[in-house]
Amino acid sequence: MATRLVVIRRLGFVQQAVGPTRSVFASFLGFVLLCSVSISLAQTEIQPEQTVAITSKGSVVATREMVVAAHPLAVDAGLKILERGGVAIDAMVAVQMVLNLVEPQSSGIGGGAFLLYHDAQTQSLISLDGREFAPQRVDETMFLNDDGKPRRWVDMVPGGLSVGVPGTLALMDHAHARFGRLEWDTLFEQAIALATNGFAVSPRLSKSLEGYGGKRLQKFTEASDYFFPNGRPLQPGDLLKNPQFVKTLKTIQRDRGESFYRGQIAGEIVASVRESVLNAGVMDKADLAAYQTIERTPVCSQYRGHQICGMGPPSSGGVTVAQILGILEFFNLDMLGPDHPMTWHLFVEAGKLAFADRNLFLADPDFTEAPIDALLARDYLRNRAALIDLNSAMAVPVKAGTPFESVSLSPDTRDGLPGTSHVSIVDRDGNAVSLTTTIESGFGSGLFTSGFLLNNELTDFSFRPQKNGKPVANRVEPRKRPRSSMAPTIIYGPDGSLKYVLGSPGGSRIISYVAQMIVALIDFDMSPQVAVNQGRISSRNGSVDIEKETGMLAFASTLRSRGNSVKERDLNSGIHVIKVESDQLTGGADPRREGIVLGR
Decide: helix, strand or coil at residue 39.
coil
pLDDT of res. 190:
98
Q: Quick one: how far is CA 80 from the chain centroid? A: 25
CB contact set of 171 (below 8 Å; sequence gap of 6+): 112, 113, 115, 128, 129, 130, 293
pLDDT of res. 310:
98
Domains of the chain: 2-296+413-599 (3.60.20.40)
pLDDT of res. 404:
82
Looking at the DSSP assignment, which residues form a beta bridge with residue 424?
68, 434
Q: Which residues are catalytic?
A: 420
Mean pLDDT in order along the chain per 10 residues (600 residues): 30 29 29 30 42 74 97 98 98 98 97 98 98 97 94 95 98 98 98 98 95 93 98 98 98 98 98 98 98 98 98 98 98 98 98 97 95 97 98 97 78 66 98 97 96 97 92 96 98 98 96 98 98 97 96 98 97 96 97 96
Spell out a b/e string for 443-470, using b for 16 or more CB atoms within 10 Å of the CB, else e: bbbbbbbbbbbbbbbbbbbbbbbeeeee
pLDDT of res. 267:
98
pLDDT of res. 413:
65
Task: Give pTM, 2 decimals.
Answer: 0.91
Looking at the DSSP assignment, which residues form a beta bridge with residue 587?
60, 578
pLDDT of res. 44:
32
Per the CB < 8 A criterion, the answer to whether 585 and 75 are in contact is no
pLDDT of res. 211:
83
pLDDT of res. 97:
98
pLDDT of res. 220:
98
pLDDT of res. 49:
55
pLDDT of res. 411:
84
pLDDT of res. 409:
79
pLDDT of res. 301:
98
